[in-house]
């Protein structure tokens, strides 16, 4: 692979990757539409799990269903004969990974386009496998089927149980209304808070009661006041899920869900601490007891510079038009458990435009909307998905076969990821205050 200009990379295996993915266009389209037509919530993706694993098995991958004791997770891996021989001789064999997601949202189906993420991961793995197989190069490619991204994060237990061990890099791509590589993907923490008080008649003897709703309202309002002392790059939001059963009864139980987000680990920890103090103080001030259940903890995504720049170059060659990096970084975004993966092994999480193949950013079709659900089954969305997958596959091939590239990727990872724990949002505010772009609105 040779860099011939700032954005153009020559990859001698490019035709093999493109042909492998384009040759499966029709079958991948069928998979995508099948998953789109039968949306399943997190950890309930039984249908998607079956059709994806069945398909991958027919394409020559070694498939592990219900991987790591997670019913709807899977691992599909291909190892070249040369890699098998090298491993037997005690040599290191490089491996690149991809993630597929396939869970849907309640009520609006695949409004985040996970039917497309599912086939993007498959297509990327097919492209790398074709190169390894045709040329018998030393290397492995692993596709990891990761459930429940929209809820509690299936990648987190998969990390803990070893699904990402041994990978030199892991990548995925996400549909959006814009093409963005350097999106600032936030961390997110989610808690379910319950307050327990004492019921009494609201008119005859209110002084006998302990009002759990008062605690919940105090917490909700205090979080609203906290925003004044929260960095502009951070977010905190929530809802009250239970405020009592009748207006003439002092509520003995109230509950809510609170989420908090930040651009880096340090700010996330600070915001989490503030939220926890508020939730506990609300109980103390009202005389209630409190139970706090932490439901999710996604880390921000530290984009690997080497992987990101290589993916950018390949996708630009395929026709993608990107806005300036500062505008990409300023685009509003959500959160994903891919951040946890990218803190474990080098990774990237670009987003790609499923509304336009010419780079026009949509302000009408946003993630988590019914319009996005409809867009996720269009031919334009399918073409955009395979274009992004080609970029990921070509980047993955470089990880496996280009001399020195995986080592440089690892070096960038080791330098970058620890800094996520000490960077403050103040250092990032200049970008956010001087640049503006249409956001991907994903996750």
- Per residue, the 3-state secondary structure of 277-301, as one string, reads HHHHHHHHHHCCEEEEEEEEEECCC
Return the structure tokens found at 355: 């509304």
Two tokens, residue 8: 């153009």
Query: Which pLDDT score is estimated for 416?
Result: 85
3-state secondary structure of 377: coil
DSSP string covering 299-362, please?
Answer: PP----HHHHHHHHHHHHHTT--PPPHHHHHHS---B-THHHHHTTS-EE--EEESS-SS-PPP
* 443 residues of the chain, pLDDT tens digit each: 444 334 567 789 999 999 999 999 999 999 999 999 999 999 999 999 999 999 999 999 999 999 999 999 999 999 999 999 999 999 999 999 999 999 999 999 999 999 999 999 999 999 999 999 999 999 999 999 999 999 999 999 999 999 999 999 999 999 999 999 999 999 999 999 999 999 999 999 999 999 999 999 999 999 999 999 999 989 999 999 999 999 999 999 999 999 999 988 889 999 999 999 999 999 999 999 999 999 889 999 999 999 999 999 999 999 999 999 999 998 877 899 999 999 999 999 999 999 999 988 888 899 999 999 999 999 999 999 999 999 999 999 999 999 999 999 999 999 988 654 434 333 333 333 333 333 444 44
CA distances from 346 to 138, 338, 341, 349 (A): 20, 11, 8, 11
Q: Which residue has the tokens 């923490």?
A: 189
Residue pair 271/306 in contact (Cβ under 8 Å)? The answer is: no
What is the model's pLDDT at position 364?
87
**How far is Cα 428 from Cα 422, in angstroms, rounded to an integer?**
12
Q: Measured between alpha carbons, how far apart are the two ends of the chain, in Å?
A: 34
List all residues 6 or more positions away from 7 whose beta carbon is below 8 Å from its beta carbon. 312, 313, 316, 317
Closest CA to 443 of 336, 363, 340, 353: 336
Q: Which pLDDT tens digit goes with each residue over 63-94?
A: 999 999 999 999 999 999 999 999 999 999 99
- Cβ-based burial of 339 (10 A; exposed 0-12, middle 13-18, buried ≥19): buried
Alpha-carbon span 281 to 218, nearest angstrom = 9
pLDDT for residue 264: 87
Question: Contact at 8 Å (CB) between 155 and 424?
Answer: no
Q: What's the pLDDT at 175? A: 97
Q: Look at residue 3 in the predicted model and tell me its pLDDT.
A: 41
Interacting residues of 98 by C-beta distance below 8 A, sequence separation 6+: 120, 121, 124, 125, 141, 142, 143, 144, 170, 171, 172, 392, 396
3-state secondary structure of 417: helix
DSSP string across 236-289:
EEEEEEE--S-TTB--SEEEEEEEEEESSHHHHHHHHHHHHHHHHHHHHHHT-E
Which DSSP string corresponds to 51-113?
HHHHHHHHTT-EEEETGGG-TT-EEEEEE-HHHHHHHHTT----EEEEEE----BTTTBSTT-
Q: Model's pTM, two decimal places? A: 0.88
Three-state DSSP state, 204: coil
How far apart CA 46 and CA 103 sit, in angstroms, is 10
Q: What is the pLDDT of residue 334?
A: 86
Q: What is the pLDDT of residue 205?
A: 96
The answer to whether residues 298 and 215 touch, using CB atoms and an 8 Å cutoff, is no
Question: In this structure, what DSSP letter does residue 185 have?
Answer: P
- Which residue matches tokens 């001698």? 12
Report the pLDDT value the prediction gives residue 431, as an integer from 0 to 100.
Answer: 34
> What pLDDT score does 296 carry?
87
Element (H or E) spanning 23, and its range?
none
Neighbouring C-alpha atoms within 13 Å toward the C-beta of 376: 35
Instruction: Give the strand pairing for 174-176 and 351-353.
Output: parallel
Opening angle at CA 139, ends 134 and 141, nearest 5: 90
Parallel, antiparallel, or unpaired for β 347-348 and 169-171?
parallel
Exposure string over 216-230, b if 16+ CB within 10 A, otherwise e: bbbbbebbeebeeeb
């Amino acid at each position: 692979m040779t860099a011939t200009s700032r954005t153009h990379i020559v990859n001698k295996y490019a035709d093999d990757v493109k042909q492998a993915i384009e040759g499966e266009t029709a079958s991948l389209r069928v998979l995508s539409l099948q998953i789109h037509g039968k949306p399943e919530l997190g950890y309930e993706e039984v249908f998607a799990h079956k059709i994806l694993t069945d398909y991958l098995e027919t394409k020559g991958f070694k498939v592990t269903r219900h991987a790591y004791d997670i019913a709807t997770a899977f691992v599909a891996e291909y190892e070249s004969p040369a890699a098998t021989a090298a491993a037997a001789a005690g040599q290191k064999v490089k491996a690149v990974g991809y993630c597929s997601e396939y869970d849907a949202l309640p009520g609006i189906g695949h409004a985040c386009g996970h039917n497309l993420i599912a086939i993007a991961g498959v297509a990327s793995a097919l492209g790398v496998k074709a190169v390894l197989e045709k040329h018998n190069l030393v290397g492995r490619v692993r596709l990891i089927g990761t459930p429940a991204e929209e809820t509690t994060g299936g990648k987190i237990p998969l990390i803990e149980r070893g699904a990402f061990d041994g990978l030199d890099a892991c990548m995925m791509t996400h549909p959006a209304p814009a093409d963005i590589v350097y999106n600032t993907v936030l961390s997110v923490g989610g808690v379910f808070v319950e307050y327990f008080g004492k019921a009494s008649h609201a008119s005859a003897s209110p002084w006998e009661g302990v009002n759990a709703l008062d605690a919940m309202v105090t917490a909700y309002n205090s979080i609203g006041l906290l925003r004044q002392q929260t960095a502009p790059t951070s977010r905190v939001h929530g809802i009250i899920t239970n405020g009592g059963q009748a207006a003439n009864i002092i509520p003995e139980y109230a509950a809510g869900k609170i989420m908090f987000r930040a651009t880096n680990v340090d700010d996330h920890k600070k915001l989490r601490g503030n939220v926890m103090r508020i939730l506990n103080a609300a109980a103390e001030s009202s005389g209630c007891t409190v139970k706090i259940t932490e439901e999710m903890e996604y880390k921000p995504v530290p984009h690997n510079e080497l992987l990101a720049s290589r993916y950018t170059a390949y996708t630009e060659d395929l026709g993608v038009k990107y806005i300036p990096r500062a505008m990409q970084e300023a685009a509003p975004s959500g959160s994903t458990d891919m951040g946890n993966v990218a803190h474990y092994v080098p990774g990237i999480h670009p987003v790609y435009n499923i509304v336009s193949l010419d780079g026009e950013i949509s302000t009408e079709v946003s993630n988590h909307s019914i319009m996005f659900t409809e867009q996720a089954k269009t031919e334009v969305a399918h073409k955009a998905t395979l274009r992004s997958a080609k970029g990921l596959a070509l980047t993955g091939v470089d990880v496996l076969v280009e001399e020195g590239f995986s080592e440089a990727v690892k070096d960038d990872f080791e330098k970058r990821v620890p800094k996520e724990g000490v960077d403050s949002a103040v250092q990032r505010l200049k970008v956010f205050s001087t640049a503006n772009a249409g956001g991907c609105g994903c996750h």
